[in-house]
Chain A
Amino acid sequence: MLRVENLQIAPIEFSAELIAKFDDVVSRYPEGKQKSGLLPILHLVQAEFGWVSPAAMEKVADYLNIQHVEVFEVATFYSMYLLKPQGKYFLEVCRTGPCCLVGAEKIMDYIEQKLGVKEGEVTADGLFSWRGVECLAACGFGPVLQISPEYTFYENLTPEKVDKLVADLTAQAKN
């Protein structure tokens, strides 16, 4: 069961630029069908704030002129919406059959050991968190992981590649 972390009590504001992106999304659908924009708009919110907070959900509902619960039920149904803050770099490792055939479970163990945090936890410096996810549709190039917010893919993973990846991202965060 998913649980929304109600950490963001204070109301939040959407910038004019973000609202303009919402408007662009809604323009893709027939009049009166603006709810179709809900999934893309939640992606935009997550890209902006790093997660989808209850306050943001209410704000999105008001923008789309739909009930708050309609946003809540969508945000909790789909696995991509993060209902609590994650590390700056959120590693999602494919843990499904074809990737496991070529070593995904060992890579997950290695990432846990490397980062020193369990699945779902954030490193002390706030830079990294990770989780296992179901099929990422890159089965021929496993083990694979993707990193939000850009959802960049890293394929044919080895412990050495994970080392480099973590080092590169750490350096990137400092610059």
Chain B
Amino acid sequence: MARKLLLEHINVPGINTFDVYRSKGGYAAVEKALKTLTPDEVVEEVKKSGLRGRGGAGFPTGMKWSFLAKPEGVARYLVCNADESEPGTFKDRYLMTHIPHLLIEGMIVASYALGAKTSYIYVRGEMMPQIRILERAIAEAKNKGFLGKNILGTGYDLELYVQPGGGAYICGEETALLESLEGKRGNPRIKPPFPAIAGLYGCPTVVNNVESIAAVVPIINEGGEEYAKVGIGRSTGTKLISAGGNVAKPGVYEINLGLPVEEFLYSPEYCGGIANGKRLKAVVAGGSSVPILPANLFLKTATGEGRLMSYESLSEGGFATGTMMGSGGFIAFDEDQCIVRNTWNFARFYHHESCGQCSPCREGTGWMEKVLHRLEYGHGKMSDMDLLVDVSKKIEGNTICPLGDAAAWPVASAIRHFRDEFEWHVTNGAEATTRNFGLAHYADPLPKPEPAPAAV
């Protein structure tokens, strides 16, 4: 049984209220940090923890914090990225819904460490219920003296606000988020300068994901070194995984990084296998923007080792045979799912969500969607697969922000691993729209359970 550092009290009735959260040890990290640690010591603990950004990029959080410029007389900001909209990912919404004070506590500690006097939680506009939950929780915390002027008599002041977004995936990119927070279209900024130097209103700013900020609470409570003992290698701590698609038990799971993927997928404690007794065909491990892997490559690396739920193991083999941890958005495809249709669906998403600022992304995502659509509906050509790979290469690395890469990788990886399924769509024309492919050699190598013997 894995240790729960974030979700330990998730099922406690009333844990979304201040009093219950406090009764379970909540806000101890605020007391410890503000009363016994200097801001630099808090940063040091986060560095020791080895925490990597949980939004998708996996950049070391403590290092990101230490980059923050600290000119005298200039405001600094902490902005929480709660613009969760990566297909497959729903952990932040879950956390904000059920245990909002964990995020608020993390925001207070992180703001103190960074010297921010005003912080914002930028929440995806679609999440109005979560916005109301957070606003209520902030009011409770302020009422109890954990926000506002002179917190706990320490002399530290902090105002915390919730900012609703407007429904644009691109605002999950940190500079687009800052543009949006300034009341503009969510067009990503060219970097450098990075937000640590010139972020919100041109001031030094740190943007962190919800889960990253929440993880600061156990790091301070237990100490960075203790936190780093959980997990494996440079993948320290626990990670929230949103499991969806065709798993038997979809939901949000907190795992110790380093858990074998086979255990995560098949054990009753987590996903419980594939729904309806079917076999696994493919997995997207870290949200729709990461490469898709066929079951055999997902469960074992190309060298035959069992793959682990860690940043390093999932990326084993690079993009040729690996994928990424990303945001932890885990999407399982059963043996009946059509890879072409799902690739088209994701391509449509990225076309819809491209901000339109960079030509390769604006035009390329549209091309990919159109070509995949004709393949799915039986009007494709054999040359389309090479065309798609060519277009994806022209998008990848040629845009201001990573949305271009996010759009390109799923398409390129789907063709790399499932090319014969794409070809089957071309050769079978209209029939392809009425049948799924479900090639057996993509399915998981584990034997299906033997049916129970008939009663005599």
Contacts and interface: CB of A to CB of B under 8 A. Distances in A.
B368 to A, nearest CB: 15
A74 B120 CA distance: 20
A59 interface: no
Given A33-B201, A39-B183, A28 B161 contact: yes
Interface in B243-263: 243-246, 250-252
Given A39-B180, A39-B183, A134 B129 contact: no
Interface stretch (B163-171, B222-230, B382-390, B397-405): B163-171
Contact of B243 (A80, A140, A150, A152): A140
Contact of B346 (A81, A97, A140): A97
Contact of A137 (B118, B126, B161, B245): B126
A40 B182 CA distance: 11
Contact of A36 (B181, B243, B337): B181
A39 B183 CA distance: 6
A80 B88 contact: no
Contacts of B90: 137-141
Contacts of A133: 167
Contacts, number: 148
A28 to B, nearest CB: 4
Interface stretch (B2-10, B79-87, B304-312, B373-381): B79-87
Contact of B352 (A64, A78, A134): A134
B448 interface: no
A88 B176 CA distance: 32
B160 to A, nearest CB: 10
B183 A36 contact: yes
Interface in B164-205: 164-169, 180-186, 201
Interface stretch (A3-11, A98-106, A112-120, A157-165): A98-106
A135 interface: yes
A125 interface: no
A36 B168 CA distance: 16
A37 interface: yes
A17 B75 CA distance: 32
B345 A146 contact: no
Nearest to A148: B128
B166 A77 contact: yes
B227 to A, nearest CB: 27
A170 interface: no
B101 interface: no
Interface string A65-80: 0100010011001111
B125 interface: yes
A134 B85 CA distance: 8
A43 B434 CA distance: 42
B169 A140 contact: no
Interface size bucket, B side? 35 or more
Nearest to B93: A137
Interface size bucket, A side? 35 or more
Nearest to A100: B345
B353 A77 contact: no
Given A36-B182, A39-B180, A80-B126, A101 B87 contact: no
A58 to B, nearest CB: 16
Contact of B183 (A74, A138, A139): A74
A175 B149 CA distance: 46
A152 to B, nearest CB: 7
A101 B245 contact: yes
A128 B105 CA distance: 41
A135 B169 contact: yes
Contact of A78 (B166, B201, B251, B331): B166
Contacts of A36: 163, 181-183
Contact of B349 (A38, A39, A135): A135
Interface in B127-183: 127-129, 159, 161, 163-169, 180-183
A11 to B, nearest CB: 23
11 contacts: A28-B120, A36-B182, A39-B180, A40-B164, A73-B185, A98-B88, A134-B169, A135-B88, A135-B169, A139-B88, A140-B243
Top 7 A-B pairs, shortest CB-CB distance: A78-B166, A140-B250, A80-B167, A35-B183, A38-B183, A139-B244, A151-B128
Given A79-B166, A101-B331, A140-B90, 11 more contacts: A40-B163, A43-B164, A78-B167, A78-B168, A80-B126, A97-B87, A98-B88, A137-B93, A137-B127, A139-B331, A140-B242
